[in-house]
Structure 1
Amino acid sequence: MNFFITLAIFLVARQAFLLLAAILKKIKDRKARKLHNTQQPMITILMPAYNEENVIIDALESIATLNYTHYEVIVIDDGSMDNTSSLVSKYINDKTTTIPIRLISQSNAGKANALNTGLIHANGDFILAVDADAKLNKDCLLYGVQNFQDEQIGAVAGNVIVVNEYNWLTRFQQLEYLVSQNVVRQGLALFGIVPIVPGPIGLFRKSAMLAAYGYREDSKLFAEDADLSIRLLQLGWKITNDERMCSATEAPSDLFTLLRQRYRWKRGIFQALNDNFTKLILSPDIKRPLLAIFLIFETFLLEILGFGITLFMLANIIYTFSFHLLPIWLAVLITLDVMALLMAVPIKYFTKWLPILLLQKISYTYALQAWGMLALIDEWRATEMSWDKLDRIGIANKGSTS
């Protein structure tokens, strides 16, 4: 009993600490010096695409109007079987923007290979990797590149915004990005140890990517973004987060698609950590073994322990008819999440998200934690898995991230 209570106190303290760190990071971002046009370094935007005819033109139109002077766009068509390539070619020929846009077509070789192809042809000192349905806020590049005034920063994780909020499932995901992921990442960013730069939007120092040999091309690796992030941390680079660098995206709108996506994510993150763990733990630099322990805790143990404490408290109710622990545990967690929500959304939207937060905490969160543990068991058993691509219909580009 005392062990679980002590563990619960530790997890709550960790959450409160990260919330405070996230507030300090937000203050730090607001004080950051803006770069003038003459100081803006060249940025290459890489957009890998596979069967994205429904969304890619809207994405390019969004990217072509950013408030930034020196950037280029490279679209890598990874063997699409629809009209992706022809639509992009026509857009390039008809475009009125002065922003250089190039199309590279290749046989289907996977997202990691497509990104590496783009990296080889990139002229920029910094690389923004985005999905083919990206709709970026106008000042995305201005905000993101500010972070690289710190020469130790190797990458900046962006803020993913879910725009198809037309059912409870997609609202839960938006709230997850706002509170569980973005606020936690903001806290970790204060120390430069963000464990994953999300695939939909991540800005990298090109020299750091080259030092890490780019994205690892392995047909059995299902989280190339997590793998690259861990290797950058392993090399000693810092990874930060900037909530002002936003990209709209479509989230899975049905339960089956969401479960497939999260199953792949969880197994992919485990693969990335497992593949890099030995180098981290055996490094003579004491920071690397500590980083390995931190990554294991943040990506797996934290979730397992939190779920385990809840199960313990439920069992305590069943066997002792003592109801006081579980309500206290949930109340503390919800209080911390409410504080995070206050920080993550404008106050005028708080009343919209509060009831969704309460429902999410007692349903969606624990369901995904249980599903994630099943994914880890399957990875440990080496169960076969295939890459499932989310079919996009173009909703993301009807929203706004300005």
Structure 2
Amino acid sequence: MATRTRRPGAATGAAVGSRRRRLPMRLLLPVLFLAALMAMLMLRGYVHSEILADHRVQTESSADQVPEEIVKGGPVIDTRTGRTTSLKLPDGHMVLTFDDGPDPTWTPKVLDVLKKHKAHAVFFVTGTMTSRYPDLVRRMVDEGHEIGLHTFNHPDLSLQSKERIDWELSQNQLAITGAAGIRTSLFRPPYSSFASSMDNNSWPVTQYIGTRGYITVVTSVDSQDWRKPGADRIIRNVTPKGGKGAVVLMHDSGGDRHQTVEALDRFLPQMKAKGYAFDNLTEALDAPSAHTRVAGVDLWKGKAWVFLVQASDNITAVLVVGLAIIGFLVIARFGLMLLLSALHARRVRRRDFRWGPPITEPVSVLVPAYNEAKCIENTVRSLMQSDHPVEVIVIDDGSSDGTARIVENLNLPGVRVVRQLNAGKPAALNRGVANARYDLVVMMDGDTVFEPSTVRELVQPFGDPRVGAVAGNAKVGNKDTLIGAWQHIEYVMGFNLDRRMYDVLQCMPTIPGAVGAFRRSALERVGGMSDDTLAEDTDITMAIHRDGWKVVYAENARAWTEAPESVQQLWSQRYRWSYGTMQAIWKHRRAVFDRGPSGRFGRVGLPLVSLFMVLAPLLAPLIDVFLIYGLVFGPTGKTILAWFGVLAIQLACATYAFILDRERLTPLISLPLQQILYRQLMYVVLLQSWITALTGGRLRWQKLRRMGGVSAPPNMPAQGRQVTEKRPVG
């Protein structure tokens, strides 16, 4: 697809400056989108304890620095005022405590049992779970239970710095505030047990926690429900002796807790019958409530935190669905490409295969050109080597670099120049069709060279009177650079395998501007080339399909085109292609309602093009986003294995495509690097095209800078090369 720009005329410096100022914003939006996506994933990783989590546990040490009144005291330790106070529960009072929640499955069941038996409890919640399930914390408070901190990520605080301890507390408190609108003064350290187990590692933490305004609550009775010993055993473990008061440790999270729920449902009525009261901690101690209502900025900060966490979880869930969709689409596309390409090759390479009677009549070759001085001589001379009779019409679309004069000075027989004011490629092609002498019309770009057999191979499918257009095999001529090699892989693997697949399905979406042929009658019936979209080749192909013609692929009609040699030029080209394809799909959206043979494209082609060329590339970055996420946060091994698995599938497809096209496999060495760098560029280009389309932006034609790097096809005979290269250009 050649690119050109309408002559801007007398543009003011201010207008040019304005356009330059808008360009960074178009680039910035996709980057900001991807950055926000990664930020949401980072937040999710943090909340799900995949980032900054520390699962180390300190070994026990001596307790010579722990006051005796603590070691032999009760489960409630208060060091807030600088004095050490240890409290026990009164006889006949039992405080049930539940750690590590809230859990979406088991916490509601625990709350239901407590409500059924009119009992209160204390829930020591983690910030990670609170942030994810705020409704459960709100229910706890509404039903009269007390909330305590259990840190955010559940690390062993004896291994952490004071800064990390403060962070764990503040984040845990922020989550509770966002969930229930309260602050709490109760705290239980992770991995804690009885007061008698306090040692020189945990005691300094307890002291420091007191300076931050918290009461430390350990336990006096351990249910050991985490061992899952059975409901009977749990009941025996939590039953205090002699009617004494107790702080009971249980869990409402961390795995299957059906034994805990069962034991609780039986234990509560048994102990109530014995006269026990199941109160909150402050109720049992006849102390002021541990909860303080929060208002103002602190409340909104908490709510904002919970909202962002919920958003990150929801977005991640959507991304996972998107990843599943893109995985299915990628595998489906590869499967279809391999299967249908093999069928196509087997069909067209049979010795007895014929499109119909051989086409020997002359052909009109149209070469629209706008400022192609560096390439046009190579293009025209390559056509002079054709083994099929041709007339060549160069339509000079208002060039300012002498393109038309170069062609005229060649004085080649059968070559005509038609001049027009700059009106764009569709208008130039329509002008060429109007001046063509023959019914079969070949269209090519001004930076492209044909092999001697290209025109003959391209027009043979017209032996079938149902064929209205033929797509040729466009190849990258300047593939010696890395970026050229990447585009070469894309052309051979993506474009040409796709064309084989679409040929078999009879729904070819695009006749490439670099090498395509049309019946004049087919062009005239659909109104010729249109400038409604920036992808005039896709637009005309879809229109011909809808008019009832067949569109096929001629694999041996090879054309060598000059691909962009810089990232900026590549960006401009692909941006226009992507946006133009979206325009064409939208323009022909009613094709899905077409009836009869002409409706095949709407029923099959348009959905496939929308899935494989628009939706799948848009979702494809999810593979790389989750790759980065998995590499950083794990599971690293499985992530690397999955990535190499996808790469292996792509390599298999690329190898098969190169073999079908009889290409050397050497460029495939750069395929892994292409997947890491080049593919990301294409993603951002497509995302930018989506943003332009959704915001109603207008994209201008853009002229690529030509270097004249494709002087002749690689396999042109030596004599032809000498003629072609007699006068180097550029």
Provide the TM-score with structure 1 as the length reference. 0.89
Aligned-residue offset at 1:302: 2.2
SS at match of 2:521: helix
SS at match of 1:157: strand
Q: Which runs of 5+ in 2 are unaligned?
A: 1-319, 717-730
Q: 2:669 aligns to what?
A: 355
Does the alignment pair 1:298 with 2:612?
A: yes
| Whole-angstrom distance in 1 between the partners of 2:674 and 2:420 | 42
* Alignment equivalent of 1:263, drawn from 575, 578, 587: 575
Provide the TM-score with structure 2 as the length reference. 0.50
Q: Is the 8 A contact 1:133 1:397 kept in 2?
A: no
Q: 2:497 aligns to what?
A: 183
Alpha-carbon spacing, 1:307–1:171, altered in 2? closer, same or farther (3 Å): same
Q: Which has the larger displacement, 187-196 or 114-123? A: 187-196
For the pair shown, which has the larger CA radius of gyration, 1 or 2?
2
Larger relative contact order (Cα-Cα within 8 Å, sequence gap ≥ 6): 1
Does the alignment pair 1:367 with 2:681?
A: yes
Q: Which has the larger displacement, 299-308 or 54-63? A: 299-308
Does the alignment pair 1:149 with 2:463?
A: yes
* Alignment equivalent of 2:377, drawn from 57, 82, 85: 57
Aligned-residue offset at 1:359: 1.7
Q: Is the 8 A contact 2:489 2:668 kept in 1?
A: no
Does the alignment pair 1:308 with 2:622?
A: yes
SS at match of 2:588: helix
For 1:68, give the aligned amino acid: H
Does the alignment pair 1:287 with 2:600?
A: yes
CA deviation digits over 1:239-294, x for unaligned, max 9? 222221111111111111111111111111111111121x3134345635414323
Q: Which runs of 5+ in 1 are unaligned?
A: none
Q: 1:169 aligns to what?
A: 483
Q: 1:235 aligns to what?
A: 547
Aligned-residue offset at 1:63: 0.1
Q: Which has the larger displacement, 178-187 or 281-290? A: 281-290
SS at match of 1:252: coil
Aligned-residue offset at 1:212: 1.2
Q: 2:276 aligns to what?
A: none
Q: Which has the larger displacement, 27-36 or 169-178? A: 27-36
SS at match of 1:178: helix
| Whole-angstrom distance in 2 between the partners of 1:85 and 1:53 | 8
Aligned-residue offset at 1:342: 3.6
* Alignment equivalent of 2:427, drawn from 98, 106, 113: 113
Aligned-residue offset at 1:173: 0.7
* Alignment equivalent of 2:368, drawn from 48, 65, 69: 48
Identity of aligned residues (%): 28
| Whole-angstrom distance in 2 between the partners of 1:160 and 1:323 | 40
Does the alignment pair 1:209 with 2:530?
A: no
Q: Which has the larger displacement, 290-299 or 187-196? A: 290-299
Q: 2:697 aligns to what?
A: 383
Q: 2:239 aligns to what?
A: none
Q: 2:347 aligns to what?
A: 28
Q: Is the 8 A contact 1:35 1:142 kept in 2?
A: no
Aligned-residue offset at 1:398: 4.4
Q: 1:194 aligns to what?
A: 508
Q: Choose between structure 1 and 2: higher helix proportion.
A: 1
Q: Is the 8 A contact 2:430 2:529 kept in 1?
A: yes
Q: Is the 8 A contact 2:355 2:463 kept in 1?
A: no
Q: Is the 8 A contact 2:534 2:577 kept in 1?
A: yes
Q: 2:472 aligns to what?
A: 158
| Whole-angstrom distance in 1 between the partners of 2:663 and 2:504 | 27
Q: Is the 8 A contact 2:323 2:619 kept in 1?
A: no
Q: Is the 8 A contact 2:322 2:622 kept in 1?
A: no
Does the alignment pair 1:89 with 2:401?
A: no
Equivalent residues in 2 for 1:218-233, closer than 5 Å:
218=532, 221-233=533-545
SS at match of 2:505: coil
For 2:362, give the aligned amino acid: M
Alpha-carbon spacing, 1:187–1:340, altered in 2? closer, same or farther (3 Å): farther
Q: Is the 8 A contact 1:141 1:245 kept in 2?
A: yes
Q: How many residues align structurally?
A: 391
Alpha-carbon spacing, 1:299–1:6, altered in 2? closer, same or farther (3 Å): closer
